Structure 1
Amino acid sequence: MQAITESPSQAGSAAIEASFSIEPMSPTIGAEIGDIDLTRPLDDGQYGALRAALLKHKLLVFRDQDISAAQQVALARRFGELEVHPVFPHHPEHPELVMLGGDSKIPGRENVYHSDVSWRARPSMGSMLRCIECPKVGGDTIWVNMAEAYARLPEATRTALDGLIAVHDLLPAFGTRMTPEEREARRAAFPPAMHPVVRTHPETGERVLYVNEAFTTHLANYIEKHEVRFGFDFRLAEMDLLQYLYRQAAAPEYQVRLKWRPNTIAFWDNRSTQHYAIQDYFPARRSMLRATIIGDVPV
């Protein structure tokens, strides 16, 4: 069993030691955590060390964790208050768990780069996804380090993003799942949210590119920040910039790819990552349960 020590900046306080193993999954993002039993409640030392590891690696993967739905809810709640998703189907006994994955008739539709619930005024701090059933081949998920994506933008582009505000909206992605009456009710409950194009991570201080092609619809103040000659300069230049920013998530250099097995748990930081659930397994079945931890207002 390997003892791991995280630095104070990663832990948020004094250095933390934990007796579980950490094996990096790529040079940029992700670590597999071993020698830990998640059927047991986390003690304070384990909690602190896992949170420090999450801040450093942004994605933590746990294998062979045969936990119940109630245990998954309790584990995720250790890291913060949990949301109840307004659209996805819920576990019948635990509304904090959404049920994800298609079946032999309906394919999954999470195959777009996104950060969970960025359309909320207070988007997610993190998500904890547990594999119940998956195909032997296919159905992998990709995660992307969006702090690295921002850091490696050309300096002129980073300067051009200063002060820009992006609009994130629930309806473009989820509206087709609703009746007109449901869309009207969801619009009243969840108006579009405005977040900085580049947010500052509240725990690490990292600058993070925070737009995604699933939920970011446009820039609220592009014309205030950039000189334009005509109306088409404003609209087309704004669209070109957004398309360029969306594409950053697709760079393999910022990514890690996870092959699922039953009882695998992935825990990731939605403030600094995006992810993409690959839809290459239909009509095979993939069944997942996700708990989502409420975060803070991006700044």
Structure 2
Amino acid sequence: MISFFKKFEEEGILGINRRIGEYILPYNPREYYPLVDDKWKTAELARQFHVPMPYHYGLVNTFGGIRNTRELIKGRPGFVVKPANGGMGNGILVITGESEYDNGSIIFHKADEKKITEKELYHHVSGILSGLYSLDGNSDSCILQERLECHTFFREISFRGIPDIRVIVFLGYPVMAMLRLPTKESGGRANLHQGALGVGIDLRTGTLTHSVCNDKIIHLHPDTKRKLSGRVIPCWEIILQMASRCFDMSGLGYLGVDIVLDELRGPLLLEMNARPGLGIQIANRMGLLDRLRLVERIHDPADGPKDRVHRMLQEL
């Protein structure tokens, strides 16, 4: 057992206890957590720092306000229903369109091609308000958000949903990144614990490298049957600079930044995470520790986002 942990240490693998004790607790002040845990507050903060995000159509924060849902989404070609304080993709509902029948009833079409009634939609909103999907189990608010258009780059390698890019940022320096691709198993969601793919990204070039699904190494997307490695993500330096800016915006020294690529609007901040998971190491087949220690050596408080990105890429 001792040799097993020694091997992890030699490979620079960051474990859960070290992540918490050496990075999350010292570098993430507790008072800043609400800025990233509450997605509505994140959006307000992003506006102040001119960081683009998906448009928010409205917020439902009382059970009486559920009746206003229809008005908030009226005329939208599609929308996303999500808990303001949710995590790991739980409670997110993606609606791609709707149909109205002769009797006036409305049917909503989900991203997984299933259908729900208007009553079922309102029931889902009610579940969000009751705290069914919140991180702490307390009552929550429901965000009605713009449904994004999948960027052309991802259309042949993703199953239905919108992929996202997770970047680990330490003291404002991007240290590791991976692409999360939806699958049939994940229901079109880009969440690894639901069966999405994690694809490592060469931080210097934005090139896709290794792929994992359910902690198993794969080479082709299980649904599209397309090879993933070797493709270069568009707007890569812009994505890294946006991730770096989230350090200044949130005040958190160690965080995960999730960015999506919209066909029309380009890179958009989806959310930030004060407790990012460690699966990114599996996707990249390397540990985080060496890069975190590199940042500790090169860190300059005077650097801005662009400088931090350039300095990090030069050191790799």
* TM-score, length-scaled by structure 1: 0.23
**Which structure has the higher relative contact order (CA within 8 Å, separation 6+)?**
1
* TM-score, length-scaled by structure 2: 0.22
Relative to its length, the structure with more helix (as a share) is 2
